[in-house]
Chain A
Amino acid sequence: MKNRRFRLSRQLRTDITGYAFLLPNFAGCLTFTIIPILCSLVFSFTDWEYTRGFGNWNFVGLKNYIDMWTDEWFLASLKNTLLYTASVVPVTILLALILSVLIDKYCIGKLPMRLAMLMPYFSSTVAVAIVWVMMYSSFGPVTQLVKWIGVENPPKWLADYHWALPAVILVTIWSTVGFAMMIYTSAIQGLPTELYEAADIDGASELDKFFKLTVPFLSPTTFYLLITNIISSFQVFTTIQVMTGGGPGNSTSVMVSYIYRSAFGYYKMGYASAMAWILFLMIFLVTLIQWNGQKRWVGY
Protein backbone atom coordinates (compact mmCIF):
# COMPACT_ATOMS: atom_id res chain seq x y z
CA MET A 1 0.00 0.00 0.00
CA LYS A 2 2.69 2.40 1.06
CA ASN A 3 4.76 1.32 -1.84
CA ARG A 4 1.89 1.99 -4.24
CA ARG A 5 1.27 5.47 -2.97
CA PHE A 6 4.95 6.25 -3.35
CA ARG A 7 4.84 5.11 -6.93
CA LEU A 8 1.74 7.20 -7.59
CA SER A 9 3.27 10.34 -6.31
CA ARG A 10 6.39 9.70 -8.31
CA GLN A 11 4.14 9.27 -11.32
CA LEU A 12 2.52 12.57 -10.47
CA ARG A 13 5.86 14.28 -10.13
CA THR A 14 6.95 12.89 -13.48
CA ASP A 15 3.73 14.18 -14.98
CA ILE A 16 4.20 17.63 -13.52
CA THR A 17 7.76 17.79 -14.78
CA GLY A 18 6.55 16.80 -18.21
CA TYR A 19 3.83 19.43 -18.26
CA ALA A 20 6.28 22.02 -16.98
CA PHE A 21 8.48 21.31 -19.95
CA LEU A 22 5.49 21.63 -22.22
CA LEU A 23 4.34 24.86 -20.62
CA PRO A 24 6.53 27.40 -22.46
CA ASN A 25 5.60 25.79 -25.73
CA PHE A 26 1.94 25.55 -24.86
CA ALA A 27 1.79 29.08 -23.46
CA GLY A 28 3.28 30.39 -26.69
CA CYS A 29 0.86 28.39 -28.77
CA LEU A 30 -2.06 29.53 -26.63
CA THR A 31 -1.14 33.23 -26.69
CA PHE A 32 -0.07 33.55 -30.28
CA THR A 33 -2.07 30.89 -32.07
CA ILE A 34 -5.08 29.51 -30.26
CA ILE A 35 -6.39 32.73 -28.70
CA PRO A 36 -5.95 34.77 -31.92
CA ILE A 37 -7.71 32.02 -33.88
CA LEU A 38 -10.65 32.12 -31.48
CA CYS A 39 -10.65 35.92 -31.56
CA SER A 40 -10.76 35.89 -35.35
CA LEU A 41 -13.80 33.62 -35.14
CA VAL A 42 -15.53 36.18 -32.94
CA PHE A 43 -14.43 39.07 -35.20
CA SER A 44 -15.83 37.30 -38.23
CA PHE A 45 -19.35 37.82 -36.88
CA THR A 46 -18.81 41.55 -36.28
CA ASP A 47 -18.34 44.70 -38.33
CA TRP A 48 -15.13 45.59 -36.51
CA GLU A 49 -12.74 48.13 -38.02
CA TYR A 50 -9.52 47.84 -36.10
CA THR A 51 -8.85 51.57 -35.78
CA ARG A 52 -12.03 51.87 -33.72
CA GLY A 53 -10.30 50.08 -30.89
CA PHE A 54 -10.75 46.69 -29.35
CA GLY A 55 -14.32 45.84 -28.34
CA ASN A 56 -15.90 48.65 -30.30
CA TRP A 57 -17.97 46.51 -32.68
CA ASN A 58 -21.48 45.35 -33.50
CA PHE A 59 -22.45 41.75 -34.07
CA VAL A 60 -23.83 41.32 -37.55
CA GLY A 61 -24.51 37.61 -37.61
CA LEU A 62 -23.59 35.84 -40.81
CA LYS A 63 -23.50 39.05 -42.89
CA ASN A 64 -19.76 38.85 -43.59
CA TYR A 65 -20.06 35.23 -44.67
CA ILE A 66 -22.92 36.08 -47.03
CA ASP A 67 -21.50 39.34 -48.43
CA MET A 68 -18.33 37.78 -49.72
CA TRP A 69 -20.15 35.73 -52.35
CA THR A 70 -21.28 38.92 -54.10
CA ASP A 71 -17.88 40.63 -53.72
CA GLU A 72 -16.15 40.51 -57.09
CA TRP A 73 -12.70 40.92 -55.50
CA PHE A 74 -13.29 37.92 -53.29
CA LEU A 75 -14.62 35.82 -56.17
CA ALA A 76 -11.69 36.76 -58.40
CA SER A 77 -9.24 35.96 -55.61
CA LEU A 78 -10.94 32.65 -54.97
CA LYS A 79 -10.78 31.77 -58.66
CA ASN A 80 -7.10 32.72 -58.89
CA THR A 81 -6.25 30.77 -55.76
CA LEU A 82 -7.92 27.65 -57.13
CA LEU A 83 -6.28 28.08 -60.54
CA TYR A 84 -2.94 28.63 -58.88
CA THR A 85 -3.27 25.54 -56.70
CA ALA A 86 -4.58 23.39 -59.53
CA SER A 87 -1.55 24.21 -61.65
CA VAL A 88 1.25 24.51 -59.10
CA VAL A 89 0.58 21.30 -57.17
CA PRO A 90 0.32 18.67 -59.95
CA VAL A 91 3.10 20.18 -62.05
CA THR A 92 5.47 20.47 -59.10
CA ILE A 93 4.86 16.92 -57.94
CA LEU A 94 5.04 15.38 -61.40
CA LEU A 95 8.19 17.30 -62.26
CA ALA A 96 9.78 16.43 -58.93
CA LEU A 97 9.04 12.73 -59.44
CA ILE A 98 10.46 12.65 -62.95
CA LEU A 99 13.52 14.68 -62.00
CA SER A 100 14.31 12.62 -58.94
CA VAL A 101 14.14 9.36 -60.90
CA LEU A 102 16.19 10.79 -63.77
CA ILE A 103 18.86 12.22 -61.51
CA ASP A 104 18.96 9.04 -59.45
CA LYS A 105 19.44 6.85 -62.51
CA TYR A 106 21.25 8.81 -65.17
CA CYS A 107 22.98 11.81 -63.65
CA ILE A 108 26.71 11.85 -63.03
CA GLY A 109 27.17 14.68 -60.53
CA LYS A 110 24.17 13.78 -58.40
CA LEU A 111 24.89 15.86 -55.33
CA PRO A 112 25.74 19.16 -57.03
CA MET A 113 22.70 18.69 -59.27
CA ARG A 114 20.36 18.13 -56.34
CA LEU A 115 21.84 21.02 -54.38
CA ALA A 116 21.41 23.31 -57.36
CA MET A 117 17.77 22.27 -57.63
CA LEU A 118 17.26 22.91 -53.94
CA MET A 119 18.88 26.37 -53.88
CA PRO A 120 15.76 28.38 -54.71
CA TYR A 121 13.91 26.65 -51.90
CA PHE A 122 16.49 27.86 -49.39
CA SER A 123 16.56 31.39 -50.75
CA SER A 124 14.37 34.17 -49.40
CA THR A 125 11.05 34.25 -51.24
CA VAL A 126 11.24 38.02 -51.54
CA ALA A 127 14.69 37.89 -53.12
CA VAL A 128 13.59 35.17 -55.52
CA ALA A 129 10.51 37.20 -56.48
CA ILE A 130 12.52 40.37 -57.10
CA VAL A 131 15.04 38.54 -59.27
CA TRP A 132 12.19 37.09 -61.30
CA VAL A 133 10.62 40.52 -61.71
CA MET A 134 13.84 41.53 -63.45
CA MET A 135 13.89 38.30 -65.46
CA TYR A 136 10.41 39.10 -66.78
CA SER A 137 11.07 42.78 -67.57
CA SER A 138 11.20 43.71 -71.23
CA PHE A 139 15.01 43.68 -71.20
CA GLY A 140 15.12 40.58 -69.02
CA PRO A 141 16.34 37.16 -70.15
CA VAL A 142 12.89 35.57 -70.32
CA THR A 143 11.61 38.18 -72.74
CA GLN A 144 14.84 38.11 -74.76
CA LEU A 145 14.68 34.31 -74.98
CA VAL A 146 11.13 34.42 -76.26
CA LYS A 147 12.18 37.05 -78.81
CA TRP A 148 15.16 34.92 -79.86
CA ILE A 149 12.87 31.95 -80.44
CA GLY A 150 11.06 34.14 -82.93
CA VAL A 151 8.10 35.70 -81.15
CA GLU A 152 7.96 39.27 -82.37
CA ASN A 153 5.83 40.84 -79.67
CA PRO A 154 6.54 38.92 -76.50
CA PRO A 155 3.92 39.39 -73.79
CA LYS A 156 4.55 41.91 -71.03
CA TRP A 157 4.43 39.01 -68.55
CA LEU A 158 3.70 40.61 -65.18
CA ALA A 159 1.79 43.50 -66.76
CA ASP A 160 -0.33 41.26 -68.97
CA TYR A 161 -3.76 40.16 -67.84
CA HIS A 162 -3.38 36.65 -69.21
CA TRP A 163 0.27 36.02 -68.57
CA ALA A 164 0.75 37.42 -65.08
CA LEU A 165 -0.71 34.44 -63.24
CA PRO A 166 1.13 31.81 -65.32
CA ALA A 167 4.33 33.80 -64.84
CA VAL A 168 3.91 33.73 -61.07
CA ILE A 169 2.97 30.05 -61.15
CA LEU A 170 6.16 29.26 -63.04
CA VAL A 171 8.25 30.99 -60.38
CA THR A 172 6.56 29.04 -57.61
CA ILE A 173 7.08 25.73 -59.38
CA TRP A 174 10.70 26.59 -60.05
CA SER A 175 11.36 27.44 -56.44
CA THR A 176 9.52 24.52 -54.80
CA VAL A 177 10.28 21.65 -57.15
CA GLY A 178 13.71 21.13 -55.59
CA PHE A 179 12.31 20.41 -52.17
CA ALA A 180 9.73 17.93 -53.47
CA MET A 181 12.49 16.30 -55.47
CA MET A 182 14.67 15.86 -52.38
CA ILE A 183 11.80 14.17 -50.56
CA TYR A 184 11.27 11.84 -53.51
CA THR A 185 14.99 11.14 -53.76
CA SER A 186 15.26 10.00 -50.18
CA ALA A 187 12.19 7.79 -50.66
CA ILE A 188 13.65 6.30 -53.85
CA GLN A 189 16.86 5.45 -52.08
CA GLY A 190 14.85 3.46 -49.54
CA LEU A 191 13.06 1.34 -52.13
CA PRO A 192 13.68 -2.44 -51.91
CA THR A 193 16.21 -3.35 -54.62
CA GLU A 194 15.24 -7.06 -54.73
CA LEU A 195 11.92 -6.21 -56.36
CA TYR A 196 13.69 -4.35 -59.13
CA GLU A 197 16.06 -7.25 -59.60
CA ALA A 198 13.09 -9.61 -59.82
CA ALA A 199 11.52 -7.31 -62.37
CA ASP A 200 14.74 -7.29 -64.38
CA ILE A 201 14.79 -11.11 -64.40
CA ASP A 202 11.18 -11.09 -65.62
CA GLY A 203 12.28 -8.78 -68.41
CA ALA A 204 10.32 -5.66 -67.37
CA SER A 205 11.13 -2.48 -69.29
CA GLU A 206 12.28 0.71 -67.58
CA LEU A 207 8.87 2.28 -68.10
CA ASP A 208 7.12 -0.77 -66.62
CA LYS A 209 9.35 -0.59 -63.59
CA PHE A 210 8.62 3.12 -63.22
CA PHE A 211 4.87 2.81 -63.42
CA LYS A 212 4.39 -0.54 -61.72
CA LEU A 213 7.05 -0.33 -59.00
CA THR A 214 8.38 3.18 -58.41
CA VAL A 215 5.10 5.10 -58.59
CA PRO A 216 3.12 2.79 -56.27
CA PHE A 217 6.00 2.52 -53.82
CA LEU A 218 6.29 6.29 -53.67
CA SER A 219 2.58 6.84 -53.03
CA PRO A 220 3.00 7.73 -49.33
CA THR A 221 5.55 10.37 -50.32
CA THR A 222 3.25 11.66 -53.03
CA PHE A 223 0.46 11.83 -50.49
CA TYR A 224 2.59 13.85 -48.09
CA LEU A 225 3.71 16.24 -50.84
CA LEU A 226 0.15 16.62 -52.09
CA ILE A 227 -1.16 17.67 -48.70
CA THR A 228 1.65 20.08 -47.84
CA ASN A 229 1.76 21.61 -51.31
CA ILE A 230 -1.97 22.16 -51.49
CA ILE A 231 -1.94 23.85 -48.10
CA SER A 232 0.94 26.15 -48.99
CA SER A 233 -0.59 26.97 -52.39
CA PHE A 234 -3.85 28.02 -50.80
CA GLN A 235 -1.85 30.32 -48.58
CA VAL A 236 0.34 31.89 -51.27
CA PHE A 237 1.05 35.52 -50.52
CA THR A 238 4.67 36.69 -50.55
CA THR A 239 5.57 35.83 -54.14
CA ILE A 240 2.44 37.49 -55.49
CA GLN A 241 2.63 40.51 -53.22
CA VAL A 242 6.18 41.22 -54.32
CA MET A 243 5.86 40.38 -58.01
CA THR A 244 2.52 41.86 -58.98
CA GLY A 245 0.74 43.16 -55.89
CA GLY A 246 -2.33 41.35 -57.24
CA GLY A 247 -2.31 43.24 -60.56
CA PRO A 248 -2.76 43.97 -63.35
CA GLY A 249 -6.40 44.60 -62.45
CA ASN A 250 -7.14 41.73 -60.12
CA SER A 251 -5.71 39.06 -62.39
CA THR A 252 -3.27 37.72 -59.79
CA SER A 253 -5.11 38.65 -56.62
CA VAL A 254 -5.29 35.62 -54.32
CA MET A 255 -7.27 34.97 -51.16
CA VAL A 256 -4.57 35.78 -48.65
CA SER A 257 -3.67 39.01 -50.42
CA TYR A 258 -7.31 40.07 -50.48
CA ILE A 259 -7.71 39.16 -46.82
CA TYR A 260 -4.68 41.32 -46.10
CA ARG A 261 -6.02 44.18 -48.21
CA SER A 262 -9.45 44.08 -46.54
CA ALA A 263 -7.98 44.04 -43.07
CA PHE A 264 -5.22 46.60 -43.41
CA GLY A 265 -6.21 48.59 -46.50
CA TYR A 266 -9.93 48.90 -45.85
CA TYR A 267 -9.73 48.33 -42.07
CA LYS A 268 -12.49 45.70 -42.30
CA MET A 269 -11.18 43.27 -39.74
CA GLY A 270 -14.48 41.44 -39.33
CA TYR A 271 -14.91 40.80 -43.02
CA ALA A 272 -11.27 39.76 -43.39
CA SER A 273 -11.61 37.33 -40.50
CA ALA A 274 -14.66 35.76 -42.12
CA MET A 275 -12.71 35.25 -45.35
CA ALA A 276 -9.81 33.77 -43.41
CA TRP A 277 -12.21 31.26 -41.90
CA ILE A 278 -13.58 30.34 -45.30
CA LEU A 279 -10.01 29.79 -46.46
CA PHE A 280 -9.37 27.64 -43.41
CA LEU A 281 -12.51 25.59 -44.02
CA MET A 282 -11.53 25.08 -47.64
CA ILE A 283 -8.06 23.83 -46.71
CA PHE A 284 -9.51 21.69 -43.96
CA LEU A 285 -12.07 20.16 -46.29
CA VAL A 286 -9.55 19.41 -49.01
CA THR A 287 -7.21 17.82 -46.50
CA LEU A 288 -10.03 15.79 -44.99
CA ILE A 289 -11.08 14.48 -48.40
CA GLN A 290 -7.51 13.55 -49.20
CA TRP A 291 -7.05 11.89 -45.84
CA ASN A 292 -10.09 9.70 -46.38
CA GLY A 293 -9.25 9.13 -50.02
CA GLN A 294 -5.74 7.88 -49.32
CA LYS A 295 -6.95 4.32 -48.64
CA ARG A 296 -7.77 3.97 -52.31
CA TRP A 297 -4.35 4.76 -53.69
CA VAL A 298 -1.72 5.06 -50.99
CA GLY A 299 0.06 1.83 -50.11
CA TYR A 300 2.32 1.59 -47.10
Chain B
Amino acid sequence: MTHHTHKDYAGAKLGMWLFLFTELLLFGGLFLLYAVYLKRYPQEFTAAGREMHVVFGTANTAILITSSLLAAMAVTAIQRDQRRQTLWFLGGTVLCAIIFLTNKFFEWSAEIGHGFYPNSPRLATAPPGESTFFSLYYLTVGLHGLHVLIGASLLTWVAVKVKRGSVHGGDFVLLENGALYWHLVDLIWIFIFPLYYLIL
Protein backbone atom coordinates (compact mmCIF):
# COMPACT_ATOMS: atom_id res chain seq x y z
CA MET B 1 0.00 0.00 0.00
CA THR B 2 1.52 3.27 -1.10
CA HIS B 3 -0.67 5.95 0.46
CA HIS B 4 -0.43 6.66 4.18
CA THR B 5 -3.26 6.13 6.65
CA HIS B 6 -5.43 9.15 7.27
CA LYS B 7 -8.75 9.79 8.91
CA ASP B 8 -11.74 9.88 6.62
CA TYR B 9 -13.66 12.87 8.01
CA ALA B 10 -16.56 12.63 5.61
CA GLY B 11 -16.84 8.90 6.39
CA ALA B 12 -16.83 9.49 10.14
CA LYS B 13 -19.56 12.08 9.85
CA LEU B 14 -21.62 9.97 7.47
CA GLY B 15 -21.50 7.14 10.01
CA MET B 16 -22.56 9.50 12.78
CA TRP B 17 -25.49 10.88 10.79
CA LEU B 18 -26.69 7.35 10.06
CA PHE B 19 -26.48 6.57 13.75
CA LEU B 20 -28.51 9.69 14.55
CA PHE B 21 -31.22 8.49 12.16
CA THR B 22 -31.45 5.24 14.11
CA GLU B 23 -31.86 7.24 17.32
CA LEU B 24 -34.69 9.26 15.78
CA LEU B 25 -36.41 6.04 14.73
CA LEU B 26 -35.99 4.59 18.20
CA PHE B 27 -37.97 7.51 19.60
CA GLY B 28 -40.18 7.33 16.53
CA GLY B 29 -41.76 4.15 17.89
CA LEU B 30 -42.79 6.01 21.05
CA PHE B 31 -44.07 9.04 19.11
CA LEU B 32 -46.10 6.64 16.97
CA LEU B 33 -47.74 5.18 20.07
CA TYR B 34 -48.37 8.72 21.33
CA ALA B 35 -50.15 9.60 18.08
CA VAL B 36 -52.33 6.49 18.13
CA TYR B 37 -53.30 6.77 21.78
CA LEU B 38 -53.89 10.52 21.57
CA LYS B 39 -56.39 9.82 18.79
CA ARG B 40 -58.05 7.17 20.91
CA TYR B 41 -58.11 9.06 24.23
CA PRO B 42 -58.17 12.83 23.50
CA GLN B 43 -60.02 13.75 26.72
CA GLU B 44 -57.97 11.52 29.02
CA PHE B 45 -54.72 12.80 27.52
CA THR B 46 -55.87 16.39 28.09
CA ALA B 47 -56.80 15.63 31.69
CA ALA B 48 -53.49 13.90 32.36
CA GLY B 49 -51.55 16.62 30.53
CA ARG B 50 -52.85 19.19 33.04
CA GLU B 51 -50.88 17.40 35.76
CA MET B 52 -47.58 18.24 34.00
CA HIS B 53 -45.41 20.97 35.49
CA VAL B 54 -44.99 23.46 32.64
CA VAL B 55 -42.45 25.51 34.63
CA PHE B 56 -40.11 22.55 34.99
CA GLY B 57 -40.53 21.69 31.32
CA THR B 58 -39.91 25.24 30.12
CA ALA B 59 -36.86 25.64 32.34
CA ASN B 60 -35.43 22.39 31.03
CA THR B 61 -36.09 23.42 27.44
CA ALA B 62 -34.20 26.66 27.99
CA ILE B 63 -31.36 24.76 29.66
CA LEU B 64 -31.04 22.26 26.82
CA ILE B 65 -31.11 24.91 24.11
CA THR B 66 -28.40 26.81 25.98
CA SER B 67 -26.33 23.63 26.25
CA SER B 68 -26.69 23.04 22.52
CA LEU B 69 -25.45 26.57 21.89
CA LEU B 70 -22.45 25.92 24.15
CA ALA B 71 -21.69 22.66 22.33
CA ALA B 72 -21.76 24.47 18.98
CA MET B 73 -19.48 27.16 20.42
CA ALA B 74 -17.08 24.47 21.60
CA VAL B 75 -16.82 23.21 18.02
CA THR B 76 -16.14 26.71 16.72
CA ALA B 77 -13.53 27.24 19.43
CA ILE B 78 -11.64 24.04 18.57
CA GLN B 79 -11.70 24.95 14.90
CA ARG B 80 -9.82 28.10 15.91
CA ASP B 81 -7.54 25.94 18.04
CA GLN B 82 -8.61 27.70 21.28
CA ARG B 83 -8.24 24.84 23.69
CA ARG B 84 -9.10 26.71 26.91
CA GLN B 85 -12.33 28.09 25.51
CA THR B 86 -13.29 24.72 24.09
CA LEU B 87 -12.93 23.21 27.55
CA TRP B 88 -14.99 25.97 29.14
CA PHE B 89 -17.79 25.53 26.61
CA LEU B 90 -17.77 21.77 27.00
CA GLY B 91 -17.83 22.18 30.78
CA GLY B 92 -20.82 24.47 30.40
CA THR B 93 -22.62 21.91 28.23
CA VAL B 94 -22.08 19.14 30.75
CA LEU B 95 -23.13 21.42 33.61
CA CYS B 96 -26.40 22.15 31.76
CA ALA B 97 -26.92 18.40 31.38
CA ILE B 98 -26.50 17.93 35.12
CA ILE B 99 -28.93 20.75 35.90
CA PHE B 100 -31.41 19.25 33.43
CA LEU B 101 -31.25 15.85 35.11
CA THR B 102 -31.51 17.39 38.58
CA ASN B 103 -34.64 19.26 37.52
CA LYS B 104 -35.98 16.03 36.08
CA PHE B 105 -35.35 14.27 39.37
CA PHE B 106 -37.39 16.80 41.33
CA GLU B 107 -40.14 16.87 38.70
CA TRP B 108 -40.47 13.08 38.72
CA SER B 109 -40.36 12.99 42.52
CA ALA B 110 -43.26 15.44 42.64
CA GLU B 111 -45.28 13.47 40.09
CA ILE B 112 -44.60 10.13 41.74
CA GLY B 113 -45.48 11.77 45.06
CA HIS B 114 -48.86 12.67 43.60
CA GLY B 115 -49.38 9.04 42.67
CA PHE B 116 -48.73 9.32 38.94
CA TYR B 117 -46.51 6.44 37.91
CA PRO B 118 -47.07 3.21 35.96
CA ASN B 119 -49.16 0.67 37.83
CA SER B 120 -49.96 3.16 40.63
CA PRO B 121 -53.15 2.78 42.70
CA ARG B 122 -54.25 6.30 41.71
CA LEU B 123 -53.97 5.57 37.99
CA ALA B 124 -55.66 2.19 38.44
CA THR B 125 -58.88 4.01 39.34
CA ALA B 126 -58.42 6.76 36.71
CA PRO B 127 -59.84 6.34 33.18
CA PRO B 128 -57.59 3.97 31.13
CA GLY B 129 -56.19 6.64 28.79
CA GLU B 130 -54.57 8.55 31.66
CA SER B 131 -52.50 5.56 32.65
CA THR B 132 -51.43 5.23 29.00
CA PHE B 133 -50.40 8.87 28.97
CA PHE B 134 -48.24 8.56 32.04
CA SER B 135 -46.64 5.29 30.94
CA LEU B 136 -45.69 6.88 27.62
CA TYR B 137 -44.50 10.01 29.41
CA TYR B 138 -42.20 8.11 31.77
CA LEU B 139 -40.83 5.84 29.02
CA THR B 140 -40.18 8.65 26.53
CA VAL B 141 -38.74 11.11 29.01
CA GLY B 142 -36.82 8.33 30.79
CA LEU B 143 -35.27 7.16 27.53
CA HIS B 144 -34.44 10.77 26.71
CA GLY B 145 -32.90 11.23 30.16
CA LEU B 146 -30.73 8.18 29.48
CA HIS B 147 -29.59 9.85 26.27
CA VAL B 148 -28.77 13.06 28.20
CA LEU B 149 -26.62 10.95 30.51
CA ILE B 150 -24.88 9.19 27.59
CA GLY B 151 -24.36 12.49 25.73
CA ALA B 152 -22.91 14.21 28.81
CA SER B 153 -20.56 11.28 29.42
CA LEU B 154 -19.51 11.34 25.77
CA LEU B 155 -18.74 15.06 25.90
CA THR B 156 -16.83 14.63 29.17
CA TRP B 157 -14.71 11.96 27.52
CA VAL B 158 -14.10 14.24 24.52
CA ALA B 159 -13.16 17.07 26.92
CA VAL B 160 -10.52 14.84 28.50
CA LYS B 161 -9.13 14.17 25.03
CA VAL B 162 -9.12 17.89 24.27
CA LYS B 163 -7.22 18.52 27.50
CA ARG B 164 -4.70 15.82 26.64
CA GLY B 165 -4.31 17.30 23.19
CA SER B 166 -5.40 14.29 21.14
CA VAL B 167 -8.42 16.26 19.91
CA HIS B 168 -7.20 19.60 18.55
CA GLY B 169 -7.65 22.18 15.79
CA GLY B 170 -6.29 19.81 13.18
CA ASP B 171 -8.28 16.74 14.25
CA PHE B 172 -11.59 17.42 15.90
CA VAL B 173 -14.09 15.11 14.20
CA LEU B 174 -14.71 13.37 17.54
CA LEU B 175 -15.81 16.63 19.12
CA GLU B 176 -17.94 17.45 16.09
CA ASN B 177 -19.66 14.07 16.28
CA GLY B 178 -20.11 14.42 20.05
CA ALA B 179 -21.74 17.80 19.49
CA LEU B 180 -23.96 16.32 16.76
CA TYR B 181 -25.14 13.71 19.23
CA TRP B 182 -25.83 16.43 21.76
CA HIS B 183 -27.90 18.40 19.24
CA LEU B 184 -29.92 15.23 18.62
CA VAL B 185 -30.64 14.92 22.35
CA ASP B 186 -31.76 18.53 22.27
CA LEU B 187 -33.85 18.01 19.14
CA ILE B 188 -35.75 15.08 20.60
CA TRP B 189 -36.57 17.13 23.66
CA ILE B 190 -37.89 19.89 21.38
CA PHE B 191 -40.52 17.38 20.25
CA ILE B 192 -41.19 15.90 23.68
CA PHE B 193 -41.77 19.28 25.31
CA PRO B 194 -44.78 20.45 23.27
CA LEU B 195 -46.30 16.98 23.03
CA TYR B 196 -46.43 16.40 26.77
CA TYR B 197 -46.44 19.90 28.30
CA LEU B 198 -47.97 22.36 25.86
CA ILE B 199 -50.54 21.08 23.38
CA LEU B 200 -52.82 19.25 25.81
- A and B held together in a complex: no
Query: Which residues of B pack against A, CB within 8 Å?
Result: none
